[in-house]
A and B are shown apart, each in its own frame.
Chain A
Amino acid sequence: MKKSNIKAWLYLLPALVFLGVFMVYPLFDVVVYSFEEGYNSASQSFFGTGLYNFSYVLHDPYFLQAVKNTFILVIITVPVSTGLSLLISLALSSIQKLKDLFQTLYFLPYVTNTLAVGLVFMILFKKTAYSDGLINLLINIFGGQSVDFIEGPYWAKMLVLCIYTIWIVMPFKILILTSSLASVNQDYYKVAKVDATPKWRVFTKITLPMISPMLFYLIITGFIGAFKAYSDAVALFGVNLNAQGMNTIVGYVLDMLYGNSGGYPSYASAAALILFAIVLTVTVINLLVSKKKVYY
C-alpha cells in the first residue's frame, strides 16, 4: 500500500511541481504583492502594507478608462456574437448542400494568429495620407464621411475593436452551437411538424430549450473571454494602448508590469485582483440566471 502511494505521487510529481511554482505560489504571491505598498522591483523592498495599491489603481484615470473600455467591449460583443452565431448555426443546420464548405470557412479565423490578422483589419479601416482605406471607401459610396478608425474618434476605434473581437470569437461559438443543434433528436422536429407547429414556435419552445445549456455555457465563457480582451486591441492599435485611450484591464495589468510604464507589480496585482473579482461576480450572476432558465 505504501509503495503504491509513493509511486502515485511520483507520477504526479511533474504536474505538482509545475503547478506549484507557476500557479499556486503566484496565486498567494499576487495577493501579497497587492498589499505591499511602494514595492520596488530593483531593491525588492517596500514601505508598508495596506490598501494603498487598490486605491491608487481605482483612482488612476488609465485604469478607469481601461475598465470603461472593457465593459463596453463586453456589453457589445457578447450579445452580438452569441446572437449572430446562433443565427448562423440555425441557418447552417437548415441546409444540406455546401454545409461542410461553409462550416470549414467559418472556422478559419479560429486558427489564425490574432496579431497577424489584426494588422489586416487595421489596414482595412485605417485612414492615411495616401488612402482612406477600403472601409471608408464603402462608407463614401453610401454617402458617409471618411473616419479614421484607428487613430480617430473614440467611438470609431471602439467600433473596430468590437468588430474584430466578434470576428475572432465567432468560429468557436458557431462550431459549438452547430454541433449542439445537430445533437437534438430529429424526432422532436418531426413530431412538431406533424403537429403543424409554426417555425417560430418550434424555435422558442423546442430548439431553444434544448440547446439552452450550451447557449449559457457560451455566454458565460464569452463574458470571461471578453473581460480578458487584450491582444485584439494590441493588434489594432499597437502596444501603447493608454495613449490611444483603448487600453483594457488586462492591458493595464501588463503595462504596469512591464514596458515603458512598467515596474509596478503591486499596482498590477491590485488591478488583476479587481479584474478577477469582476469576472467572478459576473460569472456567479450568470450561473444564478442560468439555473433558473436552463431546464436541466
Chain B
Amino acid sequence: MAADYAYVGVFLIVGLLFVVVNIDVLSRLLRPSNPLPEKSKTYECGEDPIGISWIRVHIRYYLYALVYVIFAVETIYLIPWAVVFRELGLFAFVEMMLFIAILFVGFAYAWKKGALEWVA
C-alpha cells in the first residue's frame, strides 16, 4: 500500500531531476551564453514595456474561483458516494440529489447575479 505511493513520490522527484538535468546540466554544456540588455528585456512586440505586469486583476477571476470552490467541495463528497452507490441504494441517491439541489440553488443565484458573465 505505502509502496504504491512511494512510486508517486519517486515519479515526482525523477520528474524534477529530469528537468534539472536537461536544463542545468545537458543544455548548459551545449548552449551559448551571450546575454545582452536588449535580449533580456521583457518581450512586448518591440516596444519598451511600461510599468511592471504584476498588477491587480479583474474581480471576475475571483468570482469564478468562488463558484468553483462550491463545486470542488461538492465533488469531494460525490466521489466516495459514487464508489459505494450500489450498496447504498435508493435512500442515499435521493439524499445526494437533495444535496445537489441545494447547491444548485446557490449556483442559480450566482448565475442570476451575473457571476458567470465574462463581460458584465
- Do A and B form a real pair? no
